[in-house]
Chains A and B, each alone.
Chain A
Amino acid sequence: MNGFIGVVLFLILAPVAGGLIAGLDRKLTARMQGRVGPPLLQPFYDVGKLFEKERVVVATAQNFYILAYLAFIVLSGALFFAGGDLLLTVFAFTLAHVFLVLGAYAAHSPYSHIGAERELIQVMTYEPIVILAVVGFYMVTGSFYVADIATTTVPAILYLPGVFLGFAAILTIKLRKSPFDISTSHHAHQEIVKGVTTEFSGSTLGQIEIAHWYENVFLLGLVYLFFAWNPVIGIIAVVVTYVAEVFIDNVTARVRWQAALKSGWLAALLAVANLLILSYMMIGGA
C-alpha cells in the first residue's frame, strides 16, 4: 500500500519538483555569473511553450522513441519510489537512455548522430558506478529493495564514501553540466549544436524536458539513499550535492569525451576500491 502511494506521489509531484529544481538551478547559475536570471517558474513556461509550437517531425520513428524514453524514465522513478528492487530500477533507467539514443539516430543529422554516439559513451561512463552503488547498498543493508535501504539505521555514507564520491562525479554527466556535458548541454553552446536533442522540436522536445525532470528527482533520490538513516541530514546532503554540481558547472570548461570516459572509470575504480575494503572488513568482522 505504501508503495502505491509512493508511485502516485512520484507521478504527480516529481515533475513539479523537477521543474522547480531546474528553475532554482537556472537562478543559481545566473547569480554565479553575475546575472539576475529567469523567473523561478521559467522551466514550466519553456515546456508549456514547447507544447504550443507546431509539430515538425523529421523522422516519424523518433517520436515513438522519445515517448518510450519518457515512459521508461517514469517507470524507473516509479519503481524507485514504490520501494521496489533497485537493480530493476537501474536497468529500466538504462533502457530509457537506449531509447533516447535510438531517437537521436532516427533523425538524419550528423550533429544528432555524434550526440547519440557521445550519449552512448556517457552511458558506458556512468553505468559501472550506478551498479557499484547498488551493490554497495546491498552490502551495507543486505537488501536490494529501496524500501529496506531507505529505512535502514545504518549510515551508508560512512561505509560507502568512495562510492558516493564516484557517484557525485558522474552526476554532472546526468545533470548535463560542465565538465561532462558532452552529448548535450543545458546551458552552454556546443560544437555539435544541441547534440542528441538537435533534431527534436516542439512537444517532442517538451517530453525530453519532462523526462529530464523525472530523471533529476530519481537521481537526487539515489543521493538521498546514502544518507537515509537520518532524513534531515539526507535532505541537507541532497541540497548540498546539487549546489555543488551547479558550482562545478560554473568553474570548469567542458572536457573532451576521452577525458570524460577516463574520469568516469577512475571514479568507478575508486568505488571498487571502496567496496573491496568494505568486503574485507565485513569478512574480517564476521
Chain B
Amino acid sequence: MPKRIVVPFGPQHPVLPEPIHLDLVLEDEKVVDVIPSIGYIHRGLEQLVQKREYPEYVYVAERICGICSFMHALCYCQGIEHIMEIEVPDRARYLRTIWSELSRLHSHLLWLGLFADSMGFENLFMRAWQLRESVLDISEDTSGGRIIQSTCKVGGVRRDIEQGKLEEIHRVMDTFEEKCRGLGNVFLNDETVKYRLQGLGVISKDEAYTLGSAGPTLRGSGVAIDHRETGYAAYGDLGFKPVVETAGDCYARCAVRVRELYSSIDLIRRAIEEMPEGGIDVKVKGAPNGEYFSRVEQPRGEVVHYLLGDGTKHLVRARIRTPTLANVPALVKMLPGAQLADVPVVVLSIDPCISCTER
C-alpha cells in the first residue's frame, strides 16, 4: 500500500480567497479522504436580529456576504414583506430584478476568474476580472456602491434608475455580451481547460438531488431547479428558463455559469424594456408577526431566510441557510479520487462562499 500523508489545505492558501480548511489524505498525489473544517468566518450575525430593528437588519443581511450582498437583502426583504403582507410597487420589483442580475453577472465573472486561477490560467483570471469591472461600473453608477449597494429595503427600493441611465445600461449590454461570449468561448473550448475539467468531480443527477445541492452544482448535474422559476420579483412577468447541463463534472458546472451570464444579460435587457412607471416604495408600518421561509436564487444557488417575528420591532429568529453549506456534502463526495492538483479546481467548482456559509 502506498504511503499515506495528510496535507493541510488552508485556511490560508493562495488559491483560496477565503479561509476554509481541508485535511487531505493523500496516497502519492491521489486524494483518498477529505475532512473539511469550517468556522473561520463564523460571526454569529443571526443573533443580531435581537439587537437591530427589523428594517435595520437589512444592512446586516447585505453583509452576510459581499458577493451576493444584494440577493441577501432581497431575500430578507421579501420575507418580511410576505409576513407583513406588503405589496411592493411594480417598478421596485423590476429594479430589484436588474440589480439581482447585475450581482449574478459580477459574481459569475468573479468566479470564472478565480476558477481560471485555480487551474494556473492567469491570463483568463485577469480577463474575467477586467470584464467584471464593467458590471461594477454600472452598479456604482446606479447605487453608489461597487459591492455593497444598499438599494433594497423593506417595502421597495431606496433609489430609482432614471430612464436615460436605463437606456445607457441597455446599450452597454450589447458590447458587454459580445465580450462575455468571447470569454465564455475560451472557458468552453480551450483544450487545456477542457483537459483539466472534463470528467473531474462527477456528481450524478440523483446524487446531486438527494445530497440537497443547490444552484449551478445541481443544474450542472441535470436537475432543472432554479428558484427564479417561482417568479419572485419580476421573474414571473419576464419568464425564465433554468440553464441545465447534464455531465455533472466541473466542466458542466462551469458551462452552466457561462451560459447563465447570457441569460442574465437577456433578463436585464427585458427588464429595462418592460420597466413599468410608478413609485419605488411603500410606507411600512407596524412590525412583522408570523413566520416565513423566504427563498431566492443566488449566483451560488437557493438561499433560505427563515424569519420569525412576534409583533415587536425585533425578530425572534433569522435563520439563514446559504447555498454553499448545502453544497458542502457534494464537495465531500467529489474530492476522493481526484489528484492533488485538482483539489483547488474541484473546491472552486461549487463556488464556495465561506462568508455566506458560516454567517
Contacts and interface: CB of A to CB of B under 8 A. Distances in A.
**A contacts B directly in the complex (CB < 8 Å)?**
yes
B14 A114 contact: no
Given A114-B7, A114-B29, A252-B192, A191 B121 contact: no
Contacts, number: 83
A34 B120 contact: no
A48 interface: no
Given A33-B127, A34-B126, A253 B119 contact: yes
A139 B82 CA distance: 84
Interface string A25-61: 0000100111100000000000000000000000000
Nearest to B119: A253
User: Which of the four size classes fits the interface of chain A?
Assistant: 20 to 34
Interface in A138-187: 178-179, 181-182, 185, 187
Given A35-B126, A191-B15, A110 B121 contact: no
Nearest to B340: A191
A230 interface: no
A33 B116 CA distance: 13
User: Which of the four size classes fits the interface of chain B?
Assistant: 20 to 34
Contacts of B101: none
B79 interface: no
A190 B119 contact: no
Contacts of A34: 126-127, 130
A253 B127 contact: no
A277 B261 CA distance: 52
Contacts of B214: none
Nearest to A187: B122
Given A178-B120, A191-B15, A193-B14, A256 B339 contact: yes
Nearest to B120: A254
A166 B52 CA distance: 67
Interface string B1-24: 000011111000111000000000
Contacts of A259: 195
Given A34-B130, A181-B120, A253 B8 contact: no
A239 interface: no
B29 A253 contact: no
Contacts of A191: 9, 15, 118, 340-341, 343-344
Contacts of B13: 193
A190 B15 contact: yes
9 contacts: A33-B126, A110-B6, A110-B7, A114-B29, A114-B340, A191-B344, A251-B190, A257-B29, A257-B341
Interface of A: 29, 32-35, 110-111, 114, 178-179, 181-182, 185, 187-193, 250-259
Q: Which 8 A-B pairs have the closest CB atoms?
A: A254-B120, A253-B119, A33-B126, A189-B14, A253-B121, A250-B123, A253-B192, A188-B122
Interface of B: 5-9, 13-15, 29, 116-124, 126-127, 130, 190, 192-193, 195-196, 339-344
